[in-house]
């Protein structure tokens, strides 16, 4: 029986997935459920990509994503494998979702309780309560179109885009997030509190399309959650699903080239077709289908040397707009800070000015705003007894700023440490147990992210939907993309949804059998 099962498995067409981020793992699960034999190739020594886990002296640090906002997307993957998500992953709702701390020390807690949110708004600006309610209703309408209707649409043809233009115009998607929010509330602090979300997916609230105001309703609808064991526990659970399907994951397996052969028909006009990948050690891995979870711009520039690109040329990629970079300081403390919530947004003295410096002027400002993650607020097992695990994330310019991070990283980290000690973490300098820093240079070298961008292409209107690199490659047949750089975009719901899109564009395994 075992031999028969093995023979049946080997007869299945092989799909290779490059990269084991959330998008790659979700794609592998969906392809496995559709009859493919799946091999995931991961450059690093462990899964996760941006969701890698750093472990230092008993402290566990989720390297990137920490917020789960649409758990049904994960539940769906488990259901495909005949399992219940809740049996494997302990997901806890957050309350508050975030504590937003303004530079003067005022705080604004967000959660899913409608009356509590009205009270928070009333405390800041009673005259804005009605406007806030109208904003949330607008966010719901945008959510119904932008997420529910379009989140899993391939946008392979320009007609896909043309069909939605009237709805996008009606929803005023030509406006920025900040502009949309400002049309409903007048208090500047509320405008900041309701517009910062795009920064969690690499977008400037003053320039990204107002479609991203859907995040406000998405959080109200499903809540904000965190996993016991950290986000890495979800990654490990997805790996086990793939292995349970008979798929495999290979670590320290870096892809050097996506190999191609000539396509059928007119040889001058036909798209080439992928037939596998070649690793940096020279090994060739044949495949009927290749799904790429690596950075899209990096892939087109470096992994397809055998083709002449007609759409995503070097010049087009050079002139594209890339998301901001990220500076992340991971640190563990020898004491605990029980007053600090699981998720905090610590705002500096400037909002628009700082974002202009990051996205437009490309300078590293002296001031900053931070996302402070304290997962031990929910799960003490992520640090030794009596200790806390933290990371402080600051949006910074991508590598187009020409900053020497080898020189600038430590002074910038020290400035963040001083700020935290003087605000929410008193005594920090005497209580640091472990420390690690990641800069945009690490994103470029370790994660092969073009420009060291934290979230690939910036989600401005003309780099969204049909204008974004397609899930079905425009350049190569049987090559598909998932992850932050393709549709629908960055963030855990976005990259998992990009794998859902594959169900619409990747043929069933039976086609290749």
Q: 452 in a domain, yes or no?
A: no
| Residues 222-226, mean pLDDT to the nearest whole number | 94
Instruction: State whether 361 and 408 are in the same domain.
Output: yes
Q: What is the pLDDT of residues 319-348, one digit of tens each?
A: 999 999 999 999 999 999 999 999 999 999
Residues 370 and 315 in one domain: no
pLDDT exceeds cutoff 50 at 191: yes
335 and 436, same domain (yes or no): yes
Q: What is the mean pLDDT of residues 39-44?
A: 98
Average pLDDT of the chain is 92
Mean pLDDT of 376-392: 98
365/397 same-domain check = yes
pLDDT value at position 460? 83
The answer to whether residues 419 and 493 belong to one domain is no
Least confident of 157-166, 238-247, 498-507: 157-166
For residue range 446-470, list pLDDT tens digits in order: 999 999 999 999 988 778 777 789 9
Residue 209 is predicted with a pLDDT of: 85
- Predicted confidence at residue 265, as pLDDT, reads 58
Q: Please check the confidence at residue 434 and state whether its pLDDT lies above 90.
A: yes
ω into residue 78 within 30 of 0, thus cis? no
Residues 209 and 245 in one domain: no
Tell whether 105 is covered by a domain: no
Residue 453 domain flag: no
Q: Which of the residue ranges 14-23, 74-83, 201-210 would you say has the lowest mean pLDDT?
A: 201-210
**Single residue among 201, 222, 243 that ends a domain in this structure:** 222
Please indicate, yes or no, whether residues 251 and 331 belong to a single structural domain of this protein.
Answer: no
Based on the fold, state whether residues 215 and 181 are members of the same structural domain.
Answer: yes
Average pLDDT rounded to a whole number, residues 62-87? 95
Task: Among 187, 222, 257, give the residue marking a domain's end.
Answer: 222
- Pairing state between β 432-438 and 325-333: antiparallel
Q: How many domains does the chain have?
A: 3
Quote the percentage of the chain above a pLDDT of 90.
79
> Mean pLDDT throughout 178-184?
94
Q: Give the pLDDT score at 210.
A: 84
In a domain, 96, yes or no: no
Phi-psi region of 202 (alpha: psi -120 to 50; beta: other; left: phi over 0): left
Q: Are 79 and 117 in the same domain?
A: no
What domain range includes position 432? Answer: 324-446
Which of 98, 476, 431 is closest to 300 using CA atoms?
A: 476
C-alpha to C-alpha distance for 105 and 223, rounded to whole angstroms: 26
250 with 394, same domain?
no
Question: Is the domain of 305 the same as that of 333?
Answer: no
Backbone Cα Rg of the chain = 23
Q: What is the pLDDT of residues 202-219, one digit of tens each?
A: 999 999 888 888 888 889
Q: What's residue 2's pLDDT?
A: 42
Q: Is 370 among the domain residues?
A: yes
How many Cβ atoms are within 10 Å of 68's Cβ, its own excluded?
Answer: 24
Domain's final residue, options 175, 202, 222:
222
Q: What is the CATH number of the domain that holds 402?
A: 3.30.519
Looking at the predicted structure, is the pLDDT value of residue 17 above 50? Answer: yes
Q: What is the pLDDT of residues 81-102, one digit of tens each?
A: 999 999 999 999 999 999 999 9
Cβ atoms within 10 Å, residue 290:
27
Residue 99 resides in a domain: no
- The verdict on residue 202 lying in a domain is yes
Q: What is the pLDDT of residues 127-168, one digit of tens each?
A: 999 999 999 999 988 888 777 666 676 666 656 666 666 666
pLDDT-derived band at 266, boundaries 50, 70, 90 = very low
| Alpha carbon distance 414, 441 (integer Å) | 18
Would 98 be classed as within a structural domain?
no
| pLDDT tens column, 248-259 | 999 999 999 999
Residues 6+ apart with CB under 8 A from 492: 22, 65, 67, 68, 69, 70
Q: Is the dihedral of CA 492, 494, 495, 499 positive or negative?
A: positive
Whether 5 has a pLDDT exceeding 80, the answer reads: no
Section 436-441 average pLDDT: 98
Contacts of 345 (CB under 8 A, 6+ apart): 98, 99, 100, 101, 196, 369, 370, 371, 372
Q: In this model, does residue 106 exceed pLDDT 90?
A: yes
Q: Are residues 352 and 421 in the same domain?
A: yes
């Amino acid at each position: 029986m075992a031999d028969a099962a093995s023979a049946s498995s080997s007869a299945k067409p092989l799909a290779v997935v490059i990269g084991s981020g959330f998008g790659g793992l979700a794609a592998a699960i969906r392809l496995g459920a559709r009859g493919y034999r799946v091999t995931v190739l991961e450059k690093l020594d462990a899964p996760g990509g941006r969701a890698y886990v750093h472990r230092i002296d008993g402290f566990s640090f989720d390297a990137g994503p920490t917020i789960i906002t649409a758990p049904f997307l994960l539940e769906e993957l488990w259901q495909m494998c005949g399992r219940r998500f809740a049996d494997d992953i302990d997901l806890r709702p957050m309350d508050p979702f975030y504590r937003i701390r303004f530079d003067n020390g005022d705080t604004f807690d967000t959660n899913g309780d409608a009356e509590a949110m009205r009270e928070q708004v009333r405390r800041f600006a009673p005259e804005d309560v009605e406007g806030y309610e109208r904003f949330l209703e607008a966010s719901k309408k945008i959510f119904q179109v932008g997420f529910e209707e379009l989140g899993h649409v391939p946008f392979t043809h320009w007609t896909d885009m043309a069909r939605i233009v009237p709805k996008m115009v009606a929803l005023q998607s030509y406006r920025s997030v900040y502009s949309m929010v400002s049309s409903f509330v007048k208090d500047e602090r509320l405008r900041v509190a309701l517009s910062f979300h795009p920064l969690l997916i690499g977008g400037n609230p003053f320039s990204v399309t107002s479609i991203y105001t859907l995040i406000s309703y998405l959080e109200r609808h499903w809540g904000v959650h965190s996993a016991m064991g950290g986000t890495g526990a979800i990654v490990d659970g997805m790996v086990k699903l793939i292995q349970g399907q008979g798929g495999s994951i290979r670590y320290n397996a870096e892809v050097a080239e996506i190999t191609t052969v000539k396509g059928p028909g007119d040889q001058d006009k036909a798209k080439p077709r992928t037939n596998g990948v070649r690793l940096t050690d020279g090994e060739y891995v044949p495949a009927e289908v290749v799904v790429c979870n690596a950075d899209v711009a990096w892939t087109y520039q470096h992994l397809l040397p055998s083709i002449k690109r007609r759409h995503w040329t070097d010049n087009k990629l050079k002139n594209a707009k890339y998301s901001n970079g990220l500076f992340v300081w991971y640190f563990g403390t020898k004491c605990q800070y029980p007053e600090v919530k699981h998720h905090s947004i610590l705002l500096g003295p400037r909002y628009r000015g700082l974002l202009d410096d990051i996205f437009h002027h490309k300078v590293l400002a002296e001031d900053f705003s931070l996302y402070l993650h304290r997962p031990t607020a929910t799960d003490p097992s992520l640090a030794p007894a009596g200790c806390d695990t933290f990371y402080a994330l600051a949006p910074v310019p991508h590598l187009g700023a020409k900053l020497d991070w080898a020189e600038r990283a430590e002074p910038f980290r020290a400035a963040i440490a001083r700020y935290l000690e003087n605000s929410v973490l008193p005594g920090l300098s005497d209580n640091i147990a472990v420390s690690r820093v990641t800069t945009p240079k690490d994103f470029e070298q370790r994660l092969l992210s073009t420009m060291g961008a934290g979230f690939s292409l910036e989600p401005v209107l003309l780099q969204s939907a049909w204008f974004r690199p397609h899930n079905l490659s425009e350049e190569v047949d049987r090559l598909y993309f998932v992850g932050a750089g393709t549709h629908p975009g960055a963030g855990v719901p976005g990259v998992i949804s990009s794998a859902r899109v594959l169900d619409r564009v990747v043929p069933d395994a039976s086609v290749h059998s």
